[in-house]
Structure 1
Amino acid sequence: MINMKDFFRNSNLLDCLALRQLSHIKGNWELIWDHENEEYESEENSYAEEVNQLIEELGLVEPPEKYHVNEDGLAEYVIANLNWEINKVNGRWVGAEYALILEQGGFHDIDETNLILAAAGRIKAAMDRNQNHFDDMEQSHQKMLADVIAIILYHRKSP
Structure 2
Amino acid sequence: MNGLTHINAAGEASMVDVSHKAASAREALAEGYVRMQDKTLAMILDGEHAKGDVFAVARIAGIQGAKQCANLIPLCHPLMLTKVQVDFEPQPQQNRVRILGRCKLSGQTGVEMEALTAVSIAALTLFDMCKAVDPGMVIEGIRVLDKQGGKSGHWRAQEKA
TM-score (normalised: structure 2): 0.26
Bigger Cα Rg = 2
Decide which structure has greater helix share: 1
Decide which structure has greater strand share: 2
**Higher relative contact order structure (alpha carbons within 8 Å, sequence separation ≥ 6):** 2
